[in-house]
């Protein structure tokens, strides 16, 4: 007698049902959808849903569903025509501040989505697209930082009226040479007070009294992290300009950024846009002339230029530049300590600080504006052909009154909300001089190759799978059919688990699935051969089944754990596609243990286990 | 149905000298090829640029070469890939080094002068710094996998087995790499992944035999290590053949239907499965015997009062008469 208690069957059924449910979304195709996101990478305002609904209503378009997250708004529509119509309508309604992109949203039915079932994401090698690995030039970032501190120290010494012979970068450190012991004492005190980011010590030169200063390691790490984050922010803005539906922009390691743009084929265009940088300028507001007058007549005073604020209000700014993006050291959103109001704290470098101090000392009560400048790609239709070009876009992102003279550090208050503050800080950082980035790896897969890869991948899975099914059925008869059930369940479970963990399916991942199919039957082969052996030794069929499963177990466990070790090592050291292979291989090992041992035993018990006497096993 | 007769009594161990000589020759050839011919390292490791394009009509390769020469490139290779319409252009890392990732854009421009209808299939640009890293990572991955396995097998079985298993794995990896080198197949990241999968597979086979060997050492009263090894391998023979067969079937499906990109991967695994099956029969067990594995090594520590293991007589066909 070989019987399973009821709970084991319930467990088996539960796992299979859950597995099937979560594997199901992969069978449904995709719906055309329109995706709206902020052009600047800001969080979306929930009120946007109403605006979109109005556009839908006025164009008599019925949306299948609308998903809102702070990152994006996704509207599913029935077919490609309405998708295009809706995208056009939304573009003209929402304007430049938003990116409206065509996308394909999984056509998973609502009840499946409600339990969080989503289809697997296809990797770039399957759906086509561009993959860039970019490296931030940390050496340059470090040099920039050191140079900035040299300026800061010079300025500080000058302000404190301490005479010095030189301040310079020496290797990884800064060295200041002073003329006397007293000067050095004064300088040490001033430096310790003002430049807390530095580790300072004194040493004597042959004729001078020197100070050696190193940037604190944690400050350097933070600066590098900032340089990276700044680049990521800028890249995200750029990618938004491209209108890519599902871009991936991620930090990898300490100095690298992965950019993945599914569906993009024009790599030249992508490179140009990713390479463009933004900057910003601090300018005085021309209070003498009327900007509306200038806008109406087109006559702009010679010393000024006409700009537009973000809401379209004209403003006249002086042609004289106070400071620019390369002078900006940091910008962060926070709260004013006295009033509790949201603010943005800005730090300038020494050059910017001096000019800012000069300007603000003379202009208390006047206004100062920040202009954000970027190269934006534009695509126009010229003689029926699409022509892409870069256009310089200038936008006034902040206008504020100078309350008192300031230099290196200052804050902007009077912002409507903390959200507005964080948006301004984000733009300021994007405009600051970034450490240069370089593309060190590019992998582009054209859409036709992607389609081929999918087809070939699926074909090889299905053909390999069927071959194994046939061989098992012929060789092990009824037991072979049971193993085939387990193999099918195994395939469903692998797909379900890949979908659940949100894994990306790549070509090597498919190879991993194929390999798992081949190796998953090993457990069954081991068990069945053992059962045959036990039968030959003269055991009864029931006893042979029991012994076969029992004795084969430790063998299977040992064999699988060692394969798992190899798969885990692959996962730890592999990158990209190789990782995908490791993930499917590991998952396959785990699910095959479950289906091939636990699952087949359940079915075998159902077939043979109830009878008191079994004359012969079909094996 | 049986492929392998149930009462096989192939004397594998008496043929181990032949097998060792055969392996030694294979290893010599492999190492020789690795030293003299080397591996045809792919882009992943050397850095450089690869561009695969598809023309609407099969272009003359000379035209394609001409267009690249006109664009000022000197060292490059142009080959057909799969069909006559598909072309692969490869440029070494030094060329890319000067202009960075923009090289792919310029090469594409040059290629479109041959026929404007050219379609991008694939672009791969790998900077030199990446290549070096990947090579180090790949090598490290192999070493760590071997170390992890050595530990696990020592822990679950015995150190002689662990050494035997790892010897078999090194044997497999060297021979598979040797064959890749001999036929100058592209050696890229997917091949490294395939090598690790070969390690996993070959080990699987070895462990299955060891497991039976351990069991037989414990329960059989009589029989020398050699006799018991022979018995174990024979007992597991039909399983070994059956699993290799099913794995082979899917690999052949992958080789023929998986497309060009997965070719080297499938090839590596096919060779690996054959070599791995062979080594788990001849190399892994032989190594354990040579190292002097004995019954005492595998006996569980007997606790007083604990049940003694069942003991069975060794079937007559495995006794040395």
- The residue ranges of chain B whose pLDDT is under 50 are 304-306, 308-310, 321
Question: Is the CB of B141 less than 8 angstroms away from the CB of A572?
Answer: yes
Residues of chain B positioned with their CB less than 8 A from the CB of A458? none
- Same-domain check for residues B160 and B281: yes
Nearest CA in chain A to B204: A559
- Contacts of residue A253 in chain B, CB cutoff 8 Å? none
pLDDT at site B36? 94
pLDDT at A497: 92
Please check whether the domain covering A6-24+446-609 is classified as CATH 1.20.1640.10: yes
Q: Domain for residue B282, yes or no?
A: yes
pLDDT given for residue B189 in this prediction: 80
Contact of B107 with B49, CB cutoff 8 Å: yes
What is residue A228's predicted lDDT score, i.e. its pLDDT? 83
Tens of pLDDT, residues A591-617: 998 898 889 999 998 888 877 777 788
Dump pLDDT digits (tens) for A433-442. Answer: 667 778 888 8
Size of interface A-B (CB pairs under 8 A): 233
Please report residues of B whose CB lies closer than 8 A to that of A555.
207-208, 211-212
Mutate to test the interface with A, among B138, B144, B212, B242 (most CBs of A within 10 A): B242
Give how far A525 is from chain B: nearest CA, Å.
6
CB contact under 8 A, B208 and A526: yes
Check B152 against A561: CB less than 8 A apart.
Answer: yes
pLDDT at B96: 61
Q: Tell me whether residues A570 and B196 touch, CB distance under 8 A.
A: yes
CA distance A170 to B277: 62
Which run of H or E residues covers position A37?
Answer: strand A30-38
Q: What pLDDT score does B321 carry?
A: 45
Largest interatomic CA distance in chain B: 88
Q: Which of B67, B102, B126 is the last residue of a domain?
A: B126
Edge-first strand order for the sheet with A409-412 is: A328-335, A342-348, A409-412
ipTM here? 0.84
Same domain, B175 and B37: yes
Chain A residues touching residue B129 (CB < 8 angstroms): 135, 440
**pLDDT score at A463:** 92
Tell me if B155 is assigned to some domain.
Answer: yes
Predicted local distance difference test score (pLDDT) of residue A288: 83
- Both tokens of A524, joined, read 């069954």
Question: What is d(CA A608, CA A197) in angstroms, rounded to the nearest whole number?
Answer: 77
Q: Which of B230, B193, B213 is nearest to B153 (CA)?
A: B213
Q: What is the pLDDT of residue A384?
A: 56
pLDDT mean over A452-463: 88
**Would you say B239 and B317 are in contact if contact means Cβ atoms under 8 Å apart?**
no
> Tokens 């990521």 belong to which residue?
A232
Residue B23 has a pLDDT of 93
Q: Which of B119, B204, B248 is the best substitution to test chain A (most A C-beta atoms within 10 A)? A: B204
What was the pLDDT predicted at B24?
A: 94
Q: Which residue on chain B is closest to A472 by alpha carbon?
A: B246
Q: Are residues B190 and B70 in the same domain?
A: no
Where residue B113 sits, what CATH number does that domain have?
3.30.70.3400
DSSP string, A380-417: EEETTEEEEEEEEEEEEEEEEE--S---SEEEE---SS
The values of phi and psi at residue A108, to 5°, are: -70, 130
Q: Do B102 and A459 touch (CB under 8 A)?
A: no
- CA of A392 vs chain B CAs: smallest distance (Å): 22
CA distance linking residue B207 with residue A561, whole number of Å:
10
* Contacts of A447 by beta carbon, 8 Å cutoff, 6+ apart: A127, A128, A263, A265
Contact A453 B261 (CB under 8 A): yes
Cα separation of A264 and A260, whole Å?
A: 9
Q: Which positions in chain B touch A463 (Cβ < 8 Å)?
A: 253, 257
Topology of domain A139-216 in CATH is Ribosomal Protein S8; Chain: A, domain 1 (3.30.1370)
Same domain, B33 and B175: yes
DSSP letter string, A305-320? EEEEBTTS-EEEEEEE
Q: What is the mean pLDDT of chain A?
A: 83
Percent of chain A residues past pLDDT 90, beyond the cut: 11
User: Which candidate from B100, B149, B235 shows the least CB-CB separation from A562?
Assistant: B149
Distances (CA, A) of B188 to A527, B47, B98, B264: 37, 11, 24, 9
What pLDDT does residue A468 have?
A: 92
Comparing CB atoms, the residue among A135, A525, A568 nearest residue B243 is A525
Burial class (CB in 10 A: 0-12, 13-18, 19+), A336: middle
Chain B nearest-CA distance from A258, in A, is 13
On chain A, the residues whose CB falls within 8 A of the CB of B276 are none
CB contact under 8 A, B254 and A555: no
pLDDT tens string A256-280: 888 888 877 677 777 777 776 677 8
Same domain, B148 and B228: yes
Average pLDDT over residues A522-545: 90
* Range(s) within chain A of domains with CATH label 3.30.1360.200: 276-443
In which residue are the tokens 């194929």 written?
A: A514
Q: From residue A190, how far is each of A212, A216, A438, B60 by CA, in Å?
A: 14, 17, 39, 74
Q: What is the pTM of this model?
A: 0.77
Structural domain contains residue B305: no
Q: Is residue A371 a contact partner of residue A394, using CB atoms and an 8 Å limit?
A: yes
Report the pLDDT value the prediction gives residue B305, as an integer from 0 to 100: 47
Q: Which CATH superfamily is domain A30-107 in?
A: ACT domain (3.30.70.260)
DSSP β-ladder status, A256-262 and A209-215: unpaired
Number of domains comprising chain B: 2
What's the domain range around B37?
13-41+131-298
Establish if A582 touches chain B: CB-CB under 8 angstroms.
yes
Answer yes or no: is B320 within a domain: no
Kindly determine whether residue A511 and residue B254, on different chains, have CB atoms separated by under 8 Å.
Answer: yes
Is A618 touching B (CB cutoff 8 A)?
Answer: no
Say which CATH number the domain at B200 has: 1.20.1640.10
Over its C-alpha atoms, chain A yields an Rg (Å, rounded) of: 33
Cα–Cα distances in angstroms (integers) from residue B75 to residues B43, B49, B70, B91, in the given order: 15, 12, 13, 7
Are B113 and B203 in a shared domain? no
Identify the residue among A254, A271, A491, A558 best suited for mutation to test binding to B, counting B beta carbons within 10 A and taking the highest.
A558
How many whole angstroms separate alpha carbon A252 and alpha carbon A579? 14
B120 C-beta neighbours (distance < 10 Å), count: 23
pLDDT in tens, A11-50: 999 999 999 999 998 888 788 888 888 776 677 888 888 8
State the pLDDT at residue B306. 45
Pairing verdict, β A256-262 and A342-348: unpaired
Nearest to A444 among B120, B144, B204 (CB): B120
Pairing verdict, β B186-187 and B40-41? parallel
Whole-angstrom Cα distance, residue A544 to residue A608?
A: 12
Q: Judge whether B178 and B34 are in contact, CB under 8 Å.
A: yes
Interval A108-118 mean pLDDT = 85
Tell me which DSSP letter residue A197 carries.
Answer: T
Burial A45-65 (b: 16+ CB within 10 A, else e): eeeebebbeebbeeeebebee
Which top CATH class is A276-443?
Answer: alpha beta
pLDDT tens per residue across span A192-246: 887 888 888 888 877 888 888 888 888 888 878 877 887 887 787 777 766 677 7
């Amino acid at each position: 007698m070989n019987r399973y208690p009821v709970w084991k069957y319930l467990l088996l059924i539960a796992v299979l049902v859950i597995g099937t449910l979560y594997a199901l979304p992969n069978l449904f195709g995709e719906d055309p959808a329109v995706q709206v996101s902020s052009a600047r990478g800001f969080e979306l305002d929930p009120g946007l849903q109403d605006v979109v609904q109005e556009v839908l209503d006025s164009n008599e378009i019925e949306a299948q569903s609308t998903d809102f997250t702070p990152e994006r708004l996704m509207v599913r529509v029935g077919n490609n025509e309405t998708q295009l119509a809706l995208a056009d309508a939304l573009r003209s309604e929402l304007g430049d501040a938003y990116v409206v992109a065509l996308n394909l949203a999984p056509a998973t039915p609502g009840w499946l989505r409600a339990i969080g079932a989503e289809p697997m994401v296809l990797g770039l090698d399957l759906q086509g697209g561009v993959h860039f690995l970019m490296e931030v030039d940390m050496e340059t970032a470090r040099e920039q930082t050191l140079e900035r501190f040299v300026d800061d120290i010079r300025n500080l010494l000058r302000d404190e009226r301490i005479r010095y012979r030189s301040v310079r970068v020496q290797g990884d450190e800064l060295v200041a040479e002073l003329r006397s012991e007293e000067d050095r004492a004064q300088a040490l005190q001033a430096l310790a007070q003002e430049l807390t980011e530095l580790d300072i010590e004194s040493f004597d030169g042959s004729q001078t009294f020197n100070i050696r200063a190193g940037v604190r390691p944690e400050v350097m790490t933070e600066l590098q992290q900032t340089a990276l984050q700044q680049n990521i922010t800028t890249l995200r803005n750029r990618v938004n300009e491209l209108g890519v539906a599902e871009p991936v922009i991620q930090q990898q390691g300490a100095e690298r950024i992965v950019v993945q743009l599914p569906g993009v084929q024009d790599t030249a265009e992508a490179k140009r846009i990713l390479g463009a940088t933004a900057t910003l300028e601090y300018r005085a507001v021309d209070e003498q002339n009327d900007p509306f007058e200038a806008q109406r007549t087109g006559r702009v005073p010679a010393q000024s230029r006409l700009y537009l604020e973000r809401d379209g209000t004209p403003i006249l700014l002086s042609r004289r530049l106070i400071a620019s993006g390369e002078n900006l050291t940091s910008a962060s959103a926070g709260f004013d300590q006295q009033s509790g109001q949201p603010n943005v704290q800005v730090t300038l470098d020494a050059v910017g600080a001096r000019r800012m101090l000069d300007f603000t000392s003379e202009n208390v009560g006047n206004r100062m504006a920040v202009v954000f400048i970027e190269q934006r790609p534009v695509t126009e239709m010229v003689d029926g052909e699409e022509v892409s070009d870069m256009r310089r876009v200038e936008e006034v992102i902040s206008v504020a009154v100078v309350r008192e003279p300031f230099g290196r550090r200052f804050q902007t208050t009077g912002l409507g909300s903390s959200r507005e503050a964080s948006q301004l800080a984000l733009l300021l950082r994007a405009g600051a001089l970034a450490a240069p980035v370089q593309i060190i790896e590019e992998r582009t897969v054209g859409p036709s190759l992607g389609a081929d890869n999918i087809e070939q991948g699926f074909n090889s899975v299905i053909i390999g799978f069927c071959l194994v099914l046939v061989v098992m059925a012929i060789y092990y008869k009824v037991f072979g059919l049971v193993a085939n059930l387990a193999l099918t369940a195994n395939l469903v479970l692998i797909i379900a688990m890949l979908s659940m963990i949100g894994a990306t399916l790549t070509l090597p991942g498919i190879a991993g699935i194929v390999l798992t199919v081949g190796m998953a039957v090993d457990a069954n082969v081991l068990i069945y051969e053992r059962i045959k052996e036990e039968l030959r030794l003269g055991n009864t069929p029931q006893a042979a089944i029991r012994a076969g499963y029992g004795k084969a177990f430790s063998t299977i466990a040992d064999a699988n754990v060692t394969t798992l070790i190899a798969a885990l090592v692959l996962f730890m050291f592999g990158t990209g596609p190789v990782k995908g292979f490791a993930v499917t291989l590991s998952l396959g090992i785990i699910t095959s243990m479950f289906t091939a041992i636990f699952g087949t035993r359940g079915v075998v018990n159902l077939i043979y286990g109830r009878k008191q006497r079994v004359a012969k096993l079909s094996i | 149905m049986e492929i392998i007769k149930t009462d096989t009594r192939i004397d594998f161990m008496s043929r181990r000298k032949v097998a060792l000589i055969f392996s030694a020759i294979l290893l010599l050839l492999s190492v020789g090829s690795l030293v003299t011919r080397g591996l045809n390292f792919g882009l992943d490791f050397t850095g450089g640029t690869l561009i695969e394009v598809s023309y609407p009509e099969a272009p003359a390769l000379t035209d394609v070469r001409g267009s690249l020469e006109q664009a000022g490139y000197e060292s490059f290779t142009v080959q057909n890939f799969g069909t006559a319409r598909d072309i692969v252009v490869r440029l070494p890392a030094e060329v890319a080094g000067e202009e960075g990732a923009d090289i792919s854009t310029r090469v594409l421009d040059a290629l479109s002068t041959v026929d404007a209808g050219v379609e991008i299939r694939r672009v791969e640009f790998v900077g030199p710094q990446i290549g070096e890293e990947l090579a180090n990572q790949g090598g490290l991955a192999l070493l760590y996998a071997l170390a992890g396995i050595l530990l696990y097998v020592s822990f679950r079985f015995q150190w002689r087995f662990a050494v035997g298993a790892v010897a078999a794995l090194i044997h497999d990896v060297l021979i598979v790499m040797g064959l890749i080198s001999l036929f100058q197949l592209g050696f890229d990241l997917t091949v490294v992944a395939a090598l690790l999968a070969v390690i996993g597979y070959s080990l699987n086979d070895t462990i299955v035999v060891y497991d039976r060997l351990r069991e037989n050492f414990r329960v059989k009263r009589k029989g020398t290590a050699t006799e018991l090894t022979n018995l174990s391998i024979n007992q597991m023979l039909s399983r070994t053949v059956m699993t290799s067969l099913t794995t082979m079937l899917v690999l052949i499906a992958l080789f023929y239907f998986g497309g060009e990109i997965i070719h080297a991967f499938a090839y590596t695994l096919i060779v690996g499965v054959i070599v791995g099956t062979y080594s788990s029969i001849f190399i892994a067990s032989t190594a354990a015997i040579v190292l002097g594995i004995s019954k005492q090594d595998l006996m569980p520590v007997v606790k007083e009062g604990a049940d003694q293991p069942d003991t069975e007589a060794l079937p007559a066909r495995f006794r040395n008469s």
